[in-house]
Amino acid sequence: MLHADRKVLKIGNSLGVTFPVEFLQKLDIHQGDEVQMEFKDNQIVIKKSNKVNLPEGISKDFFDVLNETLEEYDETIKGLVDR
């Protein structure tokens, strides 16, 4: 598990926190990418955004189910690469 302590910085009229490069590499986050933030169990959870420009005729529900399935079987799928 990665751990880092950071100070909260003033950025314009807002507050912000910088991320260690190791964290960003693990999530494949780069400058300009969008992230999702969620407040859960008294913690802030930050994830790389999964926003996709949907092709015409493809519903958001399809991508939601696909994403859930990929998350559920992520380790299994990655394990198949090494075979």
Same domain, 1 and 39: yes
Low-confidence ranges of the chain (pLDDT < 70): 52
Could you give the number of structural domains in the chain?
2
Same domain, 10 and 40: yes
pLDDT of residue 59: 84
pLDDT of residue 60: 80
The C-alpha angle 7, 13, 17, rounded to 5 degrees, equals 25
The CATH number of the domain holding residue 16 is 2.10.260.10
pLDDT of residue 56: 84
pLDDT of residue 24: 94
pLDDT of residue 4: 94
Same domain, 31 and 58: no
Same domain, 6 and 42: yes
pLDDT of residue 16: 95
Question: Which domain covers residue 12, as residue numbers?
Answer: 1-50
pTM: 0.53
Same domain, 2 and 27: yes
pLDDT of residue 55: 82
